[in-house]
Amino acid sequence: MFPHCKLKEEDIKAYLPTVTSSQVLASLYKPQPSFTDFLHFISPAARSVISEMRAQARIIKELHFGRAVRLYAPLYVSSYCINDCVYCAFKTSHKHARKRLSMDEIMSEAEIISGYGIKSLLLVSGEDPKAMSVDFLADAVRKLKEKFAYISIEIYPMDEASYRKLFEAGVHGLTIYQETYQEDIYKTLHLRGPKSDYHKRLEYMAGGAAAGFYNVGIGALLGLYDWHVEAVSLAAHGLWLRKKFWKTKVQFSFPRITPIPGGFAVPNAISEDDLEQLMLAFRLFFHESDLFISTRENHLFRQKVAQTCASHVSAGSQVVPGGYRDAEDRRQLLGQFTMNDRSSVADVDHDMSELGLEIVYKDWDNCIGV
């Protein structure tokens, strides 16, 4: 469990089956749901009132976001990694061709993404500081700022001073996944490298907030452990960060394990219905928080959750370094995960607009500070 969570796993597992649909409905319409209400939303009984949960989540989302859905795209800059996470194609023990982009290649990829109209960029890399130094990344960000209004990072964790350097270069958001909040399970999944230290990993989200990032994104890799238990830890982590770093907005992502080359047997598979319930629960509890859904999920599912709970969706994504420009790289190199929505940005825009959603390419303007 997240170390600051007051609930124990056995208490959660004992309580959830006792929740009734009437309790879920009573929680649903409270202006400020409590943590107990959150437990009701993730309970098995909530499934019988899922249409009511959808309707209420939609009302809450429209109250805070209107019909807006923000689009963003990832730019993978390196597939080198020194960690050995058993569920990931980039793990160091996986012998395959890797690539790190030069500055020119980064800008070439950026040109294509920007050509789609995307103004919000997520820089992604495997975790290897030698392959992508902080200074190089800061230089890249300064150049990318000419094309993108908002830049966030999902790279290797670093100390506060390095985070500050990137913040000053123009990075405004940071995403780090704890992957699983179950410490004993964590140790069996992260075999080598700095990421094998559970508690150290957990410090970096706070380090990013302390360095000044306006947005800090967190998440658990869904499928590694019982999603109900992970949901409680993730929510508790979000509350803890929000309390300690009130100037920073906490965001939530919901990555679900997809197949990787060489295979990984998902220990606690989570269905699409489970994932929808989980995302609705977060919208019903964290009314104003940004909820992200990536191209790990299929087009129809993403359309569905964009109407009720998700505020940010990626579009037109490539998950290999150089993948936007180079079809050969797409064939030769491994992506970090298998994508289930390969729709173009234009198609995502078209299909979501048809549903009455308002597609937002730019929602950030840097008029104060760096």
Residue among 91 and 237 whose Cβ is closer to ligand SF4? 91
φ and ψ at 204, to 5 degrees? -70, -30
Report the residue from 16, 28, 81, 158 that binds ligand SF4 according to the rule CB under 6 A: 81
**Quick one: 12 or 216, whose CB is closer to ligand SF4?**
216
Tell me the C-alpha distance between 336 and 338, whole Å. Answer: 7
Calculate ∠ Cα 103-107-109, nearest 5°: 115
Axis-axis angle for helices 272-285, 50-65 (nearest 10): 50
DSSP letter assigned to residue 334: P
Binding ligand SF4 (rule: CB under 6 A), the pick from 49, 77, 88, 270 is 88
Closer Cβ to ligand SF4, 163 or 245, answer by number: 163
Q: Which of residues 91-120 bind ligand SF4 (CB under 6 A)?
A: 91
Residue 49, both tokens: 């009132």
Residues 122-151: x/- map of binding to ligand SF4 (CB under 6 A)?
----xx------------------------
Could you tell me the CA-to-CA distances from 110 to 39, 125, 174, 175, 316 in Å, in that order?
Answer: 42, 15, 19, 20, 13
Binding-residue total with ligand SF4 (CB under 6 A): 9
Q: How far is the CB of 81 from ligand SF4 (least distance, A)?
A: 3
Kindly list the distances between the CA atom of residue 305 and the CA atoms of 121, 165, 177, 313, 331, in Å, as whole numbers in the listed order.
21, 36, 21, 10, 31
DSSP three-state, residue 243: helix
Q: What's the closest the beta carbon of residue 83 comes to ligand SF4, in angstroms? A: 4
Residue choice 83, 152, 162, 251 for contact with ligand SF4 (CB under 6 A) = 83
Binding residue for ligand SF4, selected from 41, 90, 167, 337, defined by CB under 6 A: 90
**Which 160-199 positions form the footprint of ligand SF4 (CB under 6 A)?**
195
- Is the Cβ of residue 81 or residue 309 nearer to ligand SF4 in the bound state? 81
Beta carbon nearer to ligand SF4, 100 or 195: 195
| Segment interacting with ligand SF4 (CB under 6 A) among 64-72, 84-92, 326-334, 358-366 | 84-92
Measured from the Cβ of residue 350, the count of other Cβ atoms closer than 10 Å reads: 12
- How many residues would you count in the chain? 370
Q: Which is nearer to ligand SF4, 170 or 323 (CB)?
A: 323
According to the binding rule CB under 6 A, does residue 39 interact with ligand SF4? Answer: no
> Smallest distance, Å, CB 74 to ligand SF4?
13
Position 361: which residue type? Y
* Contact criterion met (CB below 8 Å) for 37 and 27: yes
What is the distance between the alpha carbons of residues 63 and 244, in angstroms, rounded to a whole number?
26
| Footprint of ligand SF4 (CB under 6 A) | 81, 83, 85, 88, 90-91, 126-127, 195
